[in-house]
Amino acid sequence: MCLSSLLFFASFNMIVPELPAYLTSLGGAEYKGFIISLFTITALLSRPFSGKIADRLGRVPVMMAGSIVCFACSLMYPVLTSVAGFLLLRLIHGFSTGFTPTGQTAYLADIVPASKRGEAVGLLGTAGTLGMAGGPAIGGLLANQFGINAMFYCSSAFAILSVIIVANIKETLKEKHPISVALLKISKDDLFEPRVLVPCFIMVLCAYSYGTMLTVIPDFSVHVGIKNKGLLFTYFTVASLVVRLLGGKASDRWGRRAVLRISSLIIAIATLTMAFADSPLQLITGMALYGLGHGATSPTLLAWATDLSNARFKGRGIASLYIFMELGIGLGAFISGFIYGNQSSNFFVTFTVCSSLAALAFLHLTFSRSPVKIPS
Q: What angle do CA 157, 299, 177 make, to 5 degrees?
A: 70
What architecture is the 2-170+189-367 domain classified under in CATH?
Answer: Up-down Bundle (1.20)
170 vs 160: which has the higher pLDDT: 160
Q: Return the pLDDT at 376.
A: 38
Question: Averaged over 317-339, what is the pLDDT?
Answer: 87
pLDDT single digits (tens) 180-202 = 666 666 666 666 778 889 999 99
Burial class (CB in 10 A: 0-12, 13-18, 19+), 212: buried
What's the confidence (pLDDT) of residue 247? 59
Given a contact cutoff of 8 angstroms between Cβ atoms, the answer to whether 230 and 140 are in contact is yes
Whether 11 has a pLDDT exceeding 90, the answer reads: yes
Cα 14 to Cα 75: distance, rounded to the nearest angstrom: 14
Model confidence over 241-274: pLDDT tens digits?
A: 788 766 567 878 888 899 999 999 999 999 999 9
Cα 303 from chain centroid? 15
Q: Which of 98-112, 114-128, 219-233 has the highest mean pLDDT?
A: 98-112
Of 111-120, 293-302, 332-341, minimum mean pLDDT range: 111-120
- Position 337: which residue type? G
Q: Give the model's pLDDT for residue 31.
A: 85
Helices 83-111 and 117-146: crossing angle, nearest 10°?
150
Mean pLDDT of 134-140: 86
Per domain, the residue ranges of the chain are 2-170+189-367
Q: Is the pLDDT of residue 332 over 70?
A: yes
Closest CA to 99 of 163, 47, 60: 47
CA atoms within 13 A on the CB side of 356: 7
- What percent of the chain has pLDDT above 90? 39
Q: What is the mean pLDDT of the chain?
A: 86
Q: What is the DSSP string of 45-108?
A: HHHHHHHHHHHHT-HHHHHHHHHHHHHHHHHHTTT--SHHHHHHHHHHHHHHHHHHHHHHHHHH
